[in-house]
Structure 1
Amino acid sequence: MEQEKLRGNIKEKKNIKIALLSSFTINGVKEVLNVKCFQSDIVSDFYVAPYNQYLQQIIDKNSQLYKFEADIIIVFIDSKSLLGEYFYFPYRLTDTERKDYIGKLAAELITSIRYLKDNSKSKIVLHNFEVPLYSAMGILESKMAFGFLESVQLLNNKLKDEFRNDAGVFLFDYDTFCSKYGKKNICDPKMYYLADLKLDFSFIAPLCENYLSYIKPLLNMNKKCLVLDLDNVLWDGILGEDGLEGIKLGPTGEGKPFFEFQKLILGLYERGVILAINSHNNYNDVEEVFKNHPYMILKEKHFATLKINWEDKISNMRAIAQEINIGPDSLVFIDDDKLNRELIKDALPEVLVIDLPEDPSLFPETLSEINDFNVLQITQEDAKRGRMYAEQRKRQEFQKFATDITEFLRGLEIVVTIEKVNALNIARIAQLTQRTNQFNMTTRRYLEEDIKKIDKSGNFLIASVKVEDKFGDNGITGAVIVEKEDNKWRIDTFLLSCRVIGRRVEEALLAYIIEEVKKENGKILIGEFIPTKKNIPAKEFYKNNDFTLVKNENGTEIWSYDVSKDYKYPEFIKIVKKNIL
């Protein structure tokens, strides 16, 4: 009853089914992870395999594990359980025999995980193995041609190499986790001997936080934009009072934490996190810091939008979301002022507000602990996202001088490249189906494995759309999946990133689809619109492009287009077609 009560209180909840497989007693993990999920507005359902029955559950297709149909399976096997007697007596084997033994263990484990993946649709998080502190050889361990500790490291490396490029299996670095909290502390010896508990209760919460790093992006709950205050955040001091020379920022002394904090932020930018500023300051003063401070790591070019003014920060935050064209639930806010933080929390509860510690020396650690920017895969577009949004500011400035929208669009010199699905763009196509909400006709979510299966059937047209203009390359920002049904083709997925909405790229994409239908002697193109709270910008697309409404069932609209009618590409867009067979 209590769980049902909790479920009922969650707004905009996400649901996930989590399976836990372990080689030892993991009491408490399910309970703590359930609470962590609840705190993140996630309703979690669990299957916990019987004690040390992970292998039996994996190899039996009729086991409860497969019947549960988990979204994510966490496999936690400890070093002692896997290594057995070898853990205590590795040097009873020769160097060659040790290598062969580790190779065999790795192969058996890899085979099991592959079998699990092939027989389920779950994402799999596999723990690597804690490298022990103890060796029977003592100080001579490092002298061994192939030592015991080295053999466990080799096992971890084999797992890493095997699953490095596998979109369905993720290796959780449990060895690093143990090092972070101290390998001597990670296990309570008494509880280990009494109950085979190999993880001290005090470390279950941080372990579950790490699990959330996989769960949130799986549910598309990861954040996209980091919004920063300036004074006492990016530098020590008040710029308006201390001036350029008075603020503390640099590789030594009091400015060092801020210097390294900026480096970590730049690292986030380079992996695709959008940056923005929300600060009470004079713009000209900040511009001088950007241009002239020798240790300012972050430059104006790194920010998608800058709200440097004396407006209230709530209004600024809303304006940032609107300008970048993302929801407030995609924002993370960092401000040293507790009052500002509480104002944002109260007015915009969907924004994640980070409570900075009073001590600036803890800023870098605080930023590194945020798990909300994690993604399950980084594409080329992700890595360039920050730069792309900064380029968007230049487009907006250019638009101010255009007399009308047609002149503006023509002046952008837009190039649209349409490319059929292939090994290079498939990951991005899948990612777009998972992340795109606003201009998305059906909001159907697909994993990369799903796209491969759809493509393999031979009954679908799948293509990506890349958009470039004179200000830069937006990367792959659109995708279509169209099912070929004799004379009728059906648009299963039609989507564009919010970055390129309003440039008539959607018309170019529709023209391409109609062209492909005609080539294969199709007659009718069917389009669906499935409304959500976020895809309102797409609602009128079929109506505005001469489709005929066939029916409306429970809000789902079915539209039809006779492809014998002429439909042209926008004349100011240059179309490039690649891999068109």
Structure 2
Amino acid sequence: MTSGATDRLVVSATFTADLLNDVANFLAHDVGVPAGFTIAPYGQVFQQLLDPMSVLRQNNKSANVVCIRWIDLVQHASTETDYVNAAREIAAALTGFAHTVPCTVLICPQHDMAAFAQSATAHLETALRNVKNVQLIFASSVFDAYGVDQPYDQRGDKTGHIPYTAEAFAAIGTWLLRQYHAHSRTPLKMVAVDCDNTLWSGVVGEDGAEGIVIDDGAIALQARLAALAEAGVIIALLSKNQAADVDTVFSTRADMRLRPEHILDRTVNWQSKAENLSALAAKYAVGHDAIAFLDDNPIECAEMRSRLPAVQTIEIPKNRENLPSFVDNLWVLDHTATTHEDRKRIQMYQENVARNDSQNAAVSFADFLAGLELEIDIHCVNKDSIDRVSQLTQRTNQFNINLKRLSVDDLRHAPEEVYSVSVRDRFGDYGIVGAMSGHVDNSVYKVDLFLLSCRALGKGVEHKMLAHLGARALGFGCTELIVDYTEGPRNQPAKYFLEASFSRSVMSGQLPSTDPSVLADLTFEPTETALSMPVPKNVTSDKKNFADAYQFIADKLTTGAAIVGAFSAGRRARPELGIPFMAPSTNIERNLSAIWEEVLNVTPIGVGDDFQDLGGKSIHLVRIHSLMAERFGYALDLVTLFAVSTVKQLAVRIGDNVGGTTKVDARASDRAAKMKTARTHNRRRMSRRETA
């Protein structure tokens, strides 16, 4: 995610979902995670899914969310058939178009008809099982993860179709933004982790391997790291210790969840951890912004932040009782779905180290390449390669001619030829490392996509790719080949290659061209300068370091209540209203002011401050109504709330009852409701007369 960008997820719900904006605004403005929500028009889920011009269907940048509560779709129907029919309609709407961005279908719980709701959900699960870019999630599991035991707000549901509490909406919003952030940030490639008081409790040099404690926090962290290793992320030990002591822990402690096979590298010495990590990054050609560093020592963390500022440095909490929760909420360790190449990545890293050793031992670079026994296969993208090619377009920044980011669906419906490029040598299989595409326009062959992973760069693979496209252009009878080049912050290697191949300078926005016959005969002539192959930048000014945000979230935002408490504590200051501040003078005024401050997230609020001037909207009135009924027992109707504009006026309507414990006469509420109904009928009669 680029610094300063604010991507907005589109949310369409069968109920009022505006409270999601509270947590989104807090995470964006106060925590530093730049993403938010665009709430689609209320109650228009089917319209959003069926209309190609809807805000949801037009979203091609971030992600979509569809929140479904079955009872909202069946309304007063009460049979299982009604629920299943609603599920069929939703399934048809969700599968009736290609999802170009990820879509989360959130099944939200309800009080009644639970068995019927389960039948509807089961039908929808089956219908969506093989739909690309769509996942079905249960909001109840999100509530469990964030400790929301009582998610329902029955009063809010009845008065404003807001079925859940602020804590429940905070949990949903945080979870949704967390999932999106994992997809949109720089992919995690390496975790460098300390040992003493991090992977275990205690100091092995003092306590011995038998004396250290594998506590709940250690188990949680080690299990998370083991899962990352199995997904292809490098796990490296970075410890100031005696190497033999650390080795003894791993060889003798059967309760360790992190095993030797999970650890690709270990640097255990007394040198600077920043220097050691920099060497590891160079060894495995990993950019610093794709590395997380975990350590309990604040001094080590401070040095790492100072010397390697792009690394995501996280300080492990001193209180080990908090560590399981901290690990569960540590966004930097989140990892998205993996491809076959990801699962083989550790083996690939090991093979690449062997290649580097062979290169260092070779007399010349040409001798090294000759000994590689390189094999390059180019094939049309198919169902087995399409996921990996899409992933390459999302991740490849350096050797990428125009930085196009393509979804699986984009590739599936691409009008032009799309090719995958696989490479292997005597050390092992690189897997699919490149992609390219082109199309014919009269006598011109235009290259739309051309990218290659850095680990295959500089060995002649890129030359073979361009020669293949030149031959394709000749096969179509084209007399010119042009390349759609767009300059980005990191794709200079692609530019240099094009300039060398086309024998001319390349500028962004221009279309460098040449005779395809020249490219069809293109071959790689290795020189000693080819030894300096491009590696990822380690100072990434175009990327934001989110370590402070990750630290704060894992420390503080672990439950729905904690999230609400955090953004309530950071309330906006009272705006300049043009009137003097008047403090509450009675118990009821103080109680009402406190509720207004909580709902409007403004402090302080005077008894004469106008509700709309404070930013109040109808959705806030529904929350105020629910909180008043919950905390003070007021059975106050919404008609009265809509009629007043200040705390002072509201206190007068209620009656200044000390402590705020006397309920309003229900008959008054009934009369107000009847008056509102009568006014509505009168307006309708007048309208019919005017029409007649």
How do 1:208-287 residues align onto structure 2 when only pairs under 5 Å count?
208-249=173-214, 254=215, 257-287=217-247
- Please tell me the residue identity of whatever aligns with 1:174: A
State the partner residue of 1:130.
109
- Please tell me the residue identity of whatever aligns with 2:420: S
Structure 2 vs 1, CA of residues 200 and 323 (structure 1 numbering), >3 Å: closer, same or farther? farther
The question of whether the paired residues in 2 share the 8 Å contact of 1:14 and 1:42 is answered with no
Indicate which of 512, 536, 543 corresponds to 1:558: 512
Distance in 2 between residues matched to 1:487 and 1:200, nearest whole Å? 63
Indicate which of 361, 370, 390 corresponds to 1:410: 370
Asked if 1:530 is matched to 2:486, the reply is yes
Indicate which of 50, 60, 84 corresponds to 1:103: 84
State the 1:510 CA deviation.
2.4
State the partner residue of 1:24.
15
Give aligned-pair identity as a percent.
27
Distance in 2 between residues matched to 1:39 and 1:411, nearest whole Å? 55
- Please tell me the residue identity of whatever aligns with 2:343: A
Distance in 2 between residues matched to 1:461 and 1:53, nearest whole Å? 39
State the partner residue of 1:469.
425
The question of whether the paired residues in 2 share the 8 Å contact of 1:417 and 1:467 is answered with yes
- Please tell me the residue identity of whatever aligns with 1:523: T
Structure 2 vs 1, CA of residues 337 and 183 (structure 1 numbering), >3 Å: closer, same or farther? closer
- Please tell me the residue identity of whatever aligns with 1:162: A
- Please tell me the residue identity of whatever aligns with 1:513: L
State the 1:518 CA deviation.
3.4
Distance in 2 between residues matched to 1:23 and 1:461, nearest whole Å? 41
Asked if 1:185 is matched to 2:185, the reply is no
Q: What stretches of structure 2 of length at least 5 have no aligned partner?
A: 527-692
More strand by share: 1
Structure 2 vs 1, CA of residues 380 and 195 (structure 1 numbering), >3 Å: closer, same or farther? same
The question of whether the paired residues in 1 share the 8 Å contact of 2:499 and 2:506 is answered with no
- Please tell me the residue identity of whatever aligns with 2:107: N
State the partner residue of 2:627.
none
Structure 2 vs 1, CA of residues 131 and 24 (structure 1 numbering), >3 Å: closer, same or farther? closer
The question of whether the paired residues in 1 share the 8 Å contact of 2:198 and 2:295 is answered with yes
Structure 2 vs 1, CA of residues 63 and 519 (structure 1 numbering), >3 Å: closer, same or farther? closer
What is the SS of the residue equivalent to 1:264? helix
Larger CA deviation: 71-80 vs 439-448: 71-80
- Please tell me the residue identity of whatever aligns with 1:560: T
State the 1:431 CA deviation.
1.3
Structure 2 vs 1, CA of residues 563 and 302 (structure 1 numbering), >3 Å: closer, same or farther? farther
State the partner residue of 2:663.
none
How do 1:56-135 residues align onto structure 2 when only pairs under 5 Å count?
56-61=47-52, 63=54, 71-85=62-76, 98=80, 100-115=81-96, 117-118=97-98, 121-130=100-109
State the partner residue of 1:53.
44
How do 1:339-354 residues align onto structure 2 when only pairs under 5 Å count?
339-354=299-314
What is the SS of the residue equivalent to 1:110? helix
What is the SS of the residue equivalent to 1:439? coil
State the partner residue of 2:399.
439
The question of whether the paired residues in 2 share the 8 Å contact of 1:23 and 1:78 is answered with yes
Indicate which of 157, 175, 183 corresponds to 2:140: 175
The count of aligned residue pairs is 526
- CA deviation string 1:266-297 (max 9, x = no partner): 11222233323332234454445445554454
What is the SS of the residue equivalent to 2:377? strand
State the 1:32 CA deviation.
1.9
State the 1:437 CA deviation.
0.8
Distance in 2 between residues matched to 1:243 and 1:28, nearest whole Å? 52
The question of whether the paired residues in 2 share the 8 Å contact of 1:528 and 1:559 is answered with no
- CA deviation string 1:358-378 (max 9, x = no partner): 343543443333344556643
The question of whether the paired residues in 2 share the 8 Å contact of 1:11 and 1:41 is answered with no
What is the SS of the residue equivalent to 1:20? strand
- CA deviation string 1:187-239 (max 9, x = no partner): 23444444332221123333222112332245344433322112222233323
Structure 2 vs 1, CA of residues 162 and 217 (structure 1 numbering), >3 Å: closer, same or farther? farther
Larger Rg computed on CA atoms? 2
Structure 2 vs 1, CA of residues 568 and 305 (structure 1 numbering), >3 Å: closer, same or farther? farther
State the partner residue of 2:629.
none
State the partner residue of 1:548.
503
State the partner residue of 1:452.
412
Asked if 1:521 is matched to 2:500, the reply is no
The question of whether the paired residues in 2 share the 8 Å contact of 1:17 and 1:69 is answered with no
What is the SS of the residue equivalent to 1:232? coil
Q: Tell me how large the CA RMSD over aligned residues is.
A: 3.3
- Please tell me the residue identity of whatever aligns with 1:26: A
Distance in 2 between residues matched to 1:181 and 1:78, nearest whole Å? 20
Q: What stretches of structure 1 of length at least 5 have no aligned partner?
A: 1-9, 135-147, 573-581
- Please tell me the residue identity of whatever aligns with 2:495: K
Asked if 1:395 is matched to 2:349, the reply is no
- Please tell me the residue identity of whatever aligns with 2:424: E
What is the SS of the residue equivalent to 1:382? helix
- Name which structure has the greater RCO, CA cutoff 8 Å, separation 6+: 2
- Please tell me the residue identity of whatever aligns with 1:47: T
The question of whether the paired residues in 2 share the 8 Å contact of 1:482 and 1:491 is answered with yes
Larger CA deviation: 60-69 vs 366-375: 60-69
Structure 2 vs 1, CA of residues 37 and 382 (structure 1 numbering), >3 Å: closer, same or farther? farther
Indicate which of 268, 278, 289 corresponds to 1:329: 289
The question of whether the paired residues in 1 share the 8 Å contact of 2:474 and 2:516 is answered with no
Asked if 1:567 is matched to 2:521, the reply is yes
State the partner residue of 2:126.
161
Distance in 2 between residues matched to 1:195 and 1:531, nearest whole Å? 50
State the partner residue of 1:479.
435
State the 1:448 CA deviation.
1.2
Distance in 1 between residues matched to 2:357 and 2:144, nearest whole Å? 50
The question of whether the paired residues in 2 share the 8 Å contact of 1:481 and 1:493 is answered with yes
Distance in 2 between residues matched to 1:222 and 1:33, nearest whole Å? 22
State the partner residue of 1:488.
444
Structure 2 vs 1, CA of residues 568 and 257 (structure 1 numbering), >3 Å: closer, same or farther? same
State the partner residue of 1:203.
168
State the partner residue of 2:656.
none
State the partner residue of 1:4.
none
- Please tell me the residue identity of whatever aligns with 2:90: L
- CA deviation string 1:321-362 (max 9, x = no partner): 333333322222211222223333444444333342334354
What is the SS of the residue equivalent to 1:332? strand
- Please tell me the residue identity of whatever aligns with 2:190: C
